[in-house]
A and B are shown apart, each in its own frame.
Chain A
Amino acid sequence: MYLTTISSSLSNKPENMAKYQNTKQLHTRIIFLIAYTFFLLVPIQKITADSTDIYNLQPIIINSDFQNLKIDSFIKIWQTEKKLKPEDLLELVNKNDIDAAPHVTSQGFSFNYFWIVFLLKNESNKTKNIYIEIDNPHIDTIVFYSYNPINNHCEQIGYGGDMIPFYQRTILNRRFIFPIKLEKNEEKHFLLLIDKQKTSVSFPLRLWDQFTFNKNEGISNLLLHLYFGSLLLVALLTIIAGLLFRNWMLITYAIYASLMGLFIFTSLGFSFQFIYPNYYPISDKIMFPFAVILIIAFTEFSNSFIGTKQYSKKIYRILHYIYAISILNLGVWAIFHDYMLNFPGLLVSIQYTIILFFFGIIIYSLIRFYRFNKHKTISYTLAISALIIGFIFHLLIEYGYIEQSNLAVPPIMLGAGIELLIFAIAILIEIKKINDKKNELSLIVGENQRKITKAFIEGSEQEGTRISQELHDNIGSRLALLKNKITQSDTNKLELHEDLNNIYNDVKKLSHELSPSILQIAGFRSTIEQFLLDFTDISGIRTNLSYHKVPKLKENIELQLFRVIQESVQNCLRHSNANKLDIQIIGHENELIMSIDDDGNGFDISVPFTINGNGINNMKTRIESINGNFELSSTPNTGTFLLISIPI
């Protein structure tokens, strides 16, 4: 307005000169003009001075080789409690009715709306295509305007946020990206509105040349693919192995690794992009319950890995209380969700406290159990250190103490990746150790088995040798003598008869297998005792014999019972891994009861046993041949119990 008045009066001046011949009038005019200009210029100065004072904005210079720039030091931030129209905000700023916010991030939680302003200037000689990146995937609403500082007229360039479906974003990316086009030598003002209520706020801002951004995105995505791909692969392999080998440690590791991967996936914003792009109300509510479930999974895995159950039942139980408290916390969150909106920090802080408590207990357990398994505790300590360090950095960023863009990789990702790797290696080593031990034990068992077989074979060969010797030396020579006597003329029939009788008796004895004779001579009890002593010597299995009120039994009964004892004792050694064997033989009024009892593995009786097969049928036949009753009971892990009753 002023300018037009001055230009008109200036242009009018020569014409008016002719009209007004009074020089006095001219002079007055000139003075008037000077005064006018002075008053005009001052307000103009004031405007421009005011603009730079309020904003104090340093323009961000884009030249021809611009690639990317962190612009945190070039921006100005304001906070408002209400959501204003952008024009209204700019007016408030102009009137200096609002103070600038000091930081790019808000420490702790905020209920305010954030307004960010910056100025771009293209000093290259071509059109520049720029992206502005807000590297925080969890923002409710974000609106990007460019505006004219003179009239505060705003033009919306971009719109995004968790509260709208993913595919409505201006640029499809898990972070918030908006395009800026600057003609050569163009200068533009921009305004960003960020609505991220009720959670901690941090929004690192970065400008990218479009091509640089795309290239970087490509590389970054490749690395992320590798990261998540490996995680998925490891989790898959571990769960299959865990199910195959029925190993709880592997299963809990797989669950934990998957959950951790998913957690990171979500916190980076990929879950919103790929898993639930339309269900925007979820994104707000998902992180907290997720974190709780993750903690529970990790506690269970730690329990399993460290093996607290076998070292301290108390600590094992305390760790289970963590589940309870976490689930309680989750319950409170779920039920009183709307009420808790006013105290967003409370439940999260409780959960963080639970986590710290958990780590405290774990550290205590590690110190206590160090001497039991050094390698395990060291690897666990290294692993969770990586995670804890990552987590601490994450907390520091969350609460605004560190600028996120200072770090190249999200710290939780790095920490979790290292941690899972260390655990994977430790688990593999553990499994190798278990495998080696198994091999060792089976070698020992095989060795013992061989010894027994060898002894048995030697024994029976000795027996065979003796029988054949006996036949040859004793019976054979006597028969020879007898033959001699018969051919002689003065044979005594009676003597011959006696000789034959004797030979017959000895052959009978021999045919009884020498053992029964030994049973008869040494006695039933002594033979069993000696047999058990020899058995313990070879096998290391303790044996106890309870022998009460047993009458003198028929030869055959004693033999069959002894054979059954031999067979079941051998079975016990071969299959059951027992430590103790109890044999009882107790005589009652009308019956004899024998029981053989071991504390080994037992077996499933319903399964037709091919290993013991013949042996057990053998025993059954023997007992039945002496009119006895044969009962075999066994349940896995309670040992085997053989009960025989014979009528006498």
Chain B
Amino acid sequence: MSTKKLIKVIIVEDQKLFANGLKEILNKFEGVEVAKIIENGNLVSKELDTLKADVIFLDLNLIGKNGLEVLQEIREQHSDLLIIILTMYQEKVLVEKAKKLGANAYLTKDATVEELKKALFLKDTDHYFTSKAITNTKQIDSKNNFDDNKILITDREKEVLKCLAKGKTKSELAEILKTSTNTVNIHLKNIQRKLNIYNPQELISYVLNNNII
């Protein structure tokens, strides 16, 4: 009988009892061996370098760095590693972010042993596996604009820029927009900061060239 390659597992979990319990369960699976339990997020990266694990169960709540930070760190260095998030949190923001950062699966701590097995022996690594408690619905975010690519200028800021382009002073602006000079100043500061342009002339020409007003 040829020796099948043992699947080496690392558990990153700061709750000792849970970690030990998980270890017991995993070790019972055929061909699976838990190599180490790590509690501190700061130590994971180093341990991975030495241990050469195949699978890592990663909690989000850790001592030191939190799970997502660890995830980001180790995914960069280990592209083949099967990373399974195992946490009590069900929040969408975490599920989505873990997916974005490269996790292969996301299990809640109330998952079943079957789901555990499924995640462990995950063949299709492109498909993001989540346990039942999580609704993995695709989000249509066409209505929203989070300015990664294009810097957004709000409508009020556009008003400010229009008036500036016409050559109005700040106090005139305040009167036109029916607000205080303080607010006008803040608008300007924000615009300058966003675009990284502080010179008024440059600002106007940038804005005109890019059809912002």
Interface residues of chain A, those whose CB is within 8 Å of chain B, are: 462, 466, 470, 474, 477-478, 481, 502, 506, 509, 514, 517-518, 520-523, 526-527, 529-534, 536-537, 540, 542-549, 582, 584, 586-588, 593, 595, 597, 599, 631, 633, 635, 638, 641, 643, 645
Interface residues of B in 172-210 (CB under 8 A from A): 178-179, 183, 186, 189-190, 193-194
Query: Which residues of chain B have C-beta atoms less than 8 A from A635's C-beta?
Result: 178
Query: Of the 9-residue stretches B60-68, B76-84, B161-169, which lies at the interface with chain A?
Result: B60-68
- From A521, A546, A588, B152 is in contact (CB under 8 Å) with A546
Bound-state CA distance A571–B15 (Å) is 40
Bound-state CA distance A597–B60 (Å) is 34
Bound-state CA distance A587–B179 (Å) is 22
Min CB–CB distance A348 → chain B (angstroms): 50
Q: Is the beta-carbon distance between B146 and A470 smaller than 8 angstroms? A: no
Number of interface residues of B (CB under 8 A): 40
7 closest residue pairs by CB, A with B = A530-B93, A544-B145, A582-B154, A522-B93, A545-B146, A521-B66, A542-B143
- From A481, A526, A536, A593, B144 is in contact (CB under 8 Å) with A536
Q: Is the beta-carbon distance between A586 and B91 smaller than 8 angstroms? A: no
Q: Is B115 an interface residue (CB 8 A)?
A: no
A509/B61 contact (C-beta < 8 A), A481-B17, A536-B143 known: yes
Q: Is B54 an interface residue (CB 8 A)?
A: no
Query: Which residues of chain B have C-beta atoms less than 8 A from A645's C-beta?
Result: 186
A521/B92 contact (C-beta < 8 A), A586-B193, A588-B189, A593-B186 known: no
Q: Is the beta-carbon distance between A532 and B154 smaller than 8 angstroms? A: no
Q: Which residue of B lies closest to A645 (CB)?
A: B186
Name 4 extra pairs, CB < 8 A, besides A502-B16, A542-B143.
A521-B94, A543-B144, A544-B152, A545-B146
Query: Which residues of chain B have C-beta atoms less than 8 A from A593's C-beta?
Result: 186, 189-190
Interface residues of chain B, those whose CB is within 8 Å of chain A, are: 14-18, 60-61, 66-68, 88-94, 96-97, 139-141, 143-147, 151-152, 154-156, 178-179, 183, 186, 189-190, 193-194
Q: Is the beta-carbon distance between B189 and A582 smaller than 8 angstroms? A: no
Query: Which residues of chain A have C-beta atoms less than 8 A from B178's C-beta?
Result: 635, 638
Which of A509, A533, A534 is most buried by chain B, counting CB atoms within 10 A of its CB?
Answer: A533
- From B16, B17, B89, B141, A533 is in contact (CB under 8 Å) with B141
Bound-state CA distance A509–B87 (Å) is 14
A586/B194 contact (C-beta < 8 A), A474-B15, A527-B93 known: yes
Q: Which residue of B lies closest to A529 (CB)?
A: B146
- From A527, A530, A588, B193 is in contact (CB under 8 Å) with A588
Query: Which residues of chain A have C-beta atoms less than 8 A from B92's C-beta?
Result: 530, 534
Query: Which residues of chain B have C-beta atoms less than 8 A from A533's C-beta?
Result: 139, 141, 144
Q: Is the beta-carbon distance between B93 and A466 smaller than 8 angstroms? A: no
Q: Is the beta-carbon distance between A521 and B68 smaller than 8 angstroms? A: yes
Q: Is the beta-carbon distance between A514 and B89 smaller than 8 angstroms? A: yes
Query: Which residues of chain B have C-beta atoms less than 8 A from A536's C-beta?
Result: 141, 143-144
A-B pairs with beta carbons under 8 Å apart, 9 shown: A534-B92, A536-B144, A537-B140, A543-B144, A582-B155, A584-B190, A586-B190, A588-B189, A641-B156
Min CB–CB distance B179 → chain A (angstroms): 6
Query: Which residues of chain B have C-beta atoms less than 8 A from A540's C-beta?
Result: 143
Bound-state CA distance A509–B68 (Å) is 17
- From B61, B154, B183, A584 is in contact (CB under 8 Å) with B154
Q: Is the beta-carbon distance between A548 and B194 smaller than 8 angstroms? A: yes
A517/B190 contact (C-beta < 8 A), A582-B155, A597-B154, A635-B178 known: no
Query: Which residues of chain A have C-beta atoms less than 8 A from B147's C-beta?
Result: 544-547
Query: Which residues of chain B have C-beta atoms less than 8 A from A477's C-beta?
Result: 17
Q: Which residue of A lies closest to B68 (CB)?
A: A521
A597/B67 contact (C-beta < 8 A), A470-B88, A518-B91, A533-B144 known: no
Query: Which residues of chain A have C-beta atoms less than 8 A from B154's C-beta?
Result: 544, 546, 582, 584, 595, 597
Min CB–CB distance B117 → chain A (angstroms): 22
Q: Is the beta-carbon distance between A633 and B179 smaller than 8 angstroms? A: yes
A466/B146 contact (C-beta < 8 A), A527-B93, A546-B154, A548-B193 known: no
Query: Which residues of chain B have C-beta atoms less than 8 A from A514's C-beta?
Result: 89
Q: Is the beta-carbon distance between A517 and B151 smaller than 8 angstroms? A: no
Q: Which residue of B lies closest to A545 (CB)?
A: B146
Min CB–CB distance B200 → chain A (angstroms): 17
Q: Which residue of B lies closest to A509 (CB)?
A: B61
Bound-state CA distance A136–B16 (Å) is 111
Bound-state CA distance A521–B68 (Å) is 7
Q: Is the beta-carbon distance between B193 and A549 smaller than 8 angstroms? A: yes
Bound-state CA distance A587–B193 (Å) is 8
Query: Which residues of chain B have C-beta atoms less than 8 A from A595's C-beta?
Result: 154, 186, 190
Q: Is the beta-carbon distance between A520 and B17 smaller than 8 angstroms? A: no
Q: Is the beta-carbon distance between A633 and B17 smaller than 8 angstroms? A: no
Min CB–CB distance B157 → chain A (angstroms): 9
Q: Is the beta-carbon distance between A582 and B190 smaller than 8 angstroms? A: no
Min CB–CB distance A188 → chain B (angstroms): 84
Query: Which residues of chain B have C-beta atoms less than 8 A from A462's C-beta?
Result: 90
Query: Which residues of chain B have C-beta atoms less than 8 A from A597's C-beta?
Result: 154-156
Which of B93, B140, B183, B193 is most buried by chain A, counting CB atoms within 10 A of its CB?
Answer: B93
Bound-state CA distance A638–B66 (Å) is 43
Bound-state CA distance A593–B15 (Å) is 39
Q: Is the beta-carbon distance between A631 and B183 smaller than 8 angstroms? A: yes
Bound-state CA distance A158–B147 (Å) is 93
Query: Which residues of chain B have C-beta atoms less than 8 A from A509's C-beta?
Result: 61
Bound-state CA distance A597–B193 (Å) is 18
Bound-state CA distance A194–B77 (Å) is 115
Min CB–CB distance A530 → chain B (angstroms): 4
Query: Which residues of chain A have C-beta atoms less than 8 A from B194's C-beta?
Result: 546, 548, 586
Bound-state CA distance A284–B59 (Å) is 98
Q: Which residue of A lies closest to B156 (CB)?
A: A597
Min CB–CB distance B142 → chain A (angstroms): 9
- From A502, A526, A530, A633, B14 is in contact (CB under 8 Å) with A502
Q: Which residue of A lies closest to B89 (CB)?
A: A518
Min CB–CB distance A518 → chain B (angstroms): 5
- From A521, A534, A543, A582, B60 is in contact (CB under 8 Å) with A521
Bound-state CA distance A440–B58 (Å) is 50
Min CB–CB distance A481 → chain B (angstroms): 7
Bound-state CA distance A128–B63 (Å) is 124
Which of A462, A548, A584, A586 is most buried by chain B, counting CB atoms within 10 A of its CB?
Answer: A584
Bound-state CA distance A599–B66 (Å) is 38
Min CB–CB distance B25 → chain A (angstroms): 16
Q: Is the beta-carbon distance between B67 and A521 smaller than 8 angstroms? A: yes
Which of A462, A502, A509 is most buried by chain B, counting CB atoms within 10 A of its CB?
Answer: A502
Query: Which residues of chain B have C-beta atoms less than 8 A from A537's C-beta?
Result: 139-140
Query: Which residues of chain B have C-beta atoms less than 8 A from A526's C-beta?
Result: 93, 96-97
